[in-house]
Every structure is written in C-alpha cells, then in structure tokens.
Structure 1
Amino acid sequence: MPTLDVELNGEAVHDIDAPDSFVTDGPFPVVLENSGRSTHVHLHFDDDLDRAAALDDGNHFVADEATRRVHVSTADVDEPVRGKLKIVTGYGSNTAYVDVRIDPSPETPSESVAVDETFSAPPERPPEIPPGQRAVNALDRLVRSGGVAGAVFGLVAVGAAVAVAVAVDSALVWLAVGLALMIAFGAALLAVT
C-alpha cells in the first residue's frame, strides 16, 4: 500500500514538505510527521478527486514531534481520476498542494469453480402430513413410549387436586391446582411432540 508522507514544521513553523505528486490504485494513508511544535492540519480534496477519495475527517491535530496517520478510502474507478489534495497548516498561514492520481486497481484473475448440478435444484422436502394424521402419529408415539400409564396417572392426580380444591375452597389451593394443571399440560405437550 503506497503512503503519502508529509513533513510538518521541518524548516520553519507551519512549514509543509509534501511530494508534488502521488499515485495509488486503492486506499492509502496520509502520514503527517511533525518535526516541531504541535499544529493543526486541514486536508481537503478538490471536487474532481473528492468523487473518488474520502477522508473520515478533514481537521487533524498533530502533537509535538509526533506522527499522525490519516486513512483515505477510495472508490473503485474504471479509469484514472486526477485531482489535488490541499494541505493547510497554521490556520491558513501555509498551504501546499499534492497532485493525486487514483488508478483502477489491477484485475485479479478470476478462478472458475466447478459446481455440481445437484446444487442448482432446490432441496427435496418431506411430504406434508395432514393435521389429523399428526394427532394419530403423536398418540401412537405416546402409546409406544409407555406414556399411557403416565397420562392416566396425571389425569387422576389432576382430578384429585380439583376435588381437594373444591372441598377446602381456598384461594391458595386453587392457585396450586392451576399450577399443577399448567405443569400437566406442559408435560403432555412435551410427550406428544
């Protein structure tokens, strides 16, 4: 990945030392190398280049004798795009321009991939089972798994709980019966599915 190196404050305060031109075929960083006191730098693309290159932010602070990397993203272009990058320091006291050219990225050879013809057909789905047949199948699974005895025991337990609730006539007992009914219903659903 090519890098656009810019030296700041090299010869004098707010001095900008940048190359006259820069060529790339993809995203690149602008490396702001500060040789002196902290400074603010403004980066801006002219209209032609702004259509193919973008900065996350145009204003950058570079601390004393520090380096700041500014990422420039580029669009895919079919033909070279030319324009200028404007670099400003000292709140406009010094300005430099870099001629930038963004070339189309080199074509990568496409590799052909053999695809089995069976992948082009949709997967086969099992036949749809009518709702009545589903209930018969669920009952059959319940009988084969020995769940009939459990179901009968559950019904007897629920019946006994309702009888106790009617005899005692207490809100707490009715709450317990309701909870038992919900648990029995949930267990029956699990057994059937």
Structure 2
Amino acid sequence: MVSTVPTLDVELNGETVHDIDAPDSFVTDGPFPVVLENSGRSTHVHLHFDDDLDRVAALDEGNHFVADEATRHVHVSTADVDEAVRGKLEIVTGYGSNTKYVDVRVDPSPETPDESVVVDERLSAPPEGPPDVPPGRQVVNALDRLVRRGGTAGAVFGFLAVAAAVTVALAVDSAVVWLAVGIALMVAFGAALLAVT
C-alpha cells in the first residue's frame, strides 16, 4: 500500500500583488511540504509556526524567495505525538503587507504493525560443544588422515596381515591361533589410531 504525503498548497500573487491563497486548515500525521506557487512577480515569503505548533513542527528556514512564476517546496519536519497538536502557520508576504493564517493539526502517526522477529532463546545461546560426528564419517576422516600422512602402504600391509591371520585361524581352528589373531587385530587397530591422531 502506497501512502501519499499531504501537501499544504499556497498560491502567491494570484488575484493581486502579495495576495496569499491558502486553505483555512490542514491536517497531517507526519512531515509534509509547503508548496509555494507564485503566479506573478518574484516575492519574499515568511513562514512561522505559533508556540503550540512550534514544539512539534519545524522549518529548515523561515524566509523564502520565490522567483517569477516559480514554485518552491519548503520541507516541514514533525515530531511523533501521542495526541493531536493544533496551532497556526503564519504566511507573510510583501514584508508584512499581507498575512494569512492556516490552522494546522498534527495527528499521531498510524500504528505500524509489529514486524519484529521472535527468536527462540535457545538459538541465542552459543552451542555447548561441537556436534557429534557420525561413525561412518569418523572412519572416512581417519582413512583420509592416514592417506595424507603417507600411511597408505602401512594400511594396506596391516589389512593384508589381518586378513592372513584370520585365514590361518579359520584353517587351523585353534584357540591359541585365535588368541594370536585377536592380539594382532588389537595391535593393528591401535597402530591405526596412533597414525590418524
């Protein structure tokens, strides 16, 4: 939805020299421009807010020169208000020869929906430790470290030794041979752990 900014339109030198044609009242809920449209010869315009309005509305500058048949935009900033503030804008031309007052009301700006994101408190706390690595990934990581350290030949030799020991144990079917195979497996496993850590 596109909101439009209201403008306070003021026509200068319309009917006569130094003539000011402006609305009797103006309502806004935020910053707005005063549009000075000069229909005649160049003129100086003085803008001033009364005390009530001056505490919530501000002009960058009070005196403005508007060239022949030119338009000038004067920005008015407003403060956020909790309740409507009323006051008068004084428009003076011809060095005080003509004055016009506009009743201005500054309303509270409409409430904007709260679009803040609620974050679970558990997400704001740092993790207690690194996540557990799955066993399959641990084996792959261990083999990768073993290969990077040049232990490929040792790993192949260990695997062949274990395979040979198991083959002999199956062929002989002796408790002593099985014990020796178990010891060989533990030694090979220990060596592999030392190699990858």
TM-score w.r.t. structure 1 length? 0.62
* 2-structure distance, mates of 1:14, 1:7: 10
Q: Does 1:45 align with 2:49?
A: yes
How many Å separate the matches in 1 of 2:42 and 2:81? 36
Tell me the residue number matched to 2:121.
117
* 2:81 matches 1:65: no
Alignment of 1:1-12 (within 5 A): 1-12=5-16
Question: What CA deviation, in whole Å up to 9, does each residue of 1:59-94 have, x standing for no partner?
Answer: 000000000000000000000000000000000000
Give 1:29 shift: 0.1
Question: What is the SS of the residue equivalent to 1:110?
Answer: coil
**What is the one-letter code of the residue matched to 1:33?**
E
Aligned-pair CA distance for 1:116: 3.2
Distance 2:127 2:57 in 1: 45
Matching of residue 108 in structure 1 with residue 95 in structure 2: no
Number of equivalent positions: 126
Point out where structure 1 has 5 or more consecutive residues left out of the alignment. Answer: 125-193
Equivalences for 1:108-187 in 2 at 5 Å? 108-121=112-125
Q: Give distance in 2, aligned partners of 1:123 and 1:86.
A: 63
* Poorly superposed stretches of 4+, deviation over 3 Å: none
Query: Whole-Å Cα distance in 2 between the matches of residues 14 and 32 of structure 1?
Result: 12
Question: Partners of 1:18 and 1:82 in 2: how far apart?
Answer: 17
Q: Which runs of 5+ in 2 are unaligned?
A: 129-197
Moved more, 107-116 or 15-24: 107-116
Q: CA RMSD in A?
A: 1.9
Match of 2:91 among 78, 82, 87: 87
1:76 aligns with 2:91: no
Of all paired residues, the percent bearing the same amino acid is 90
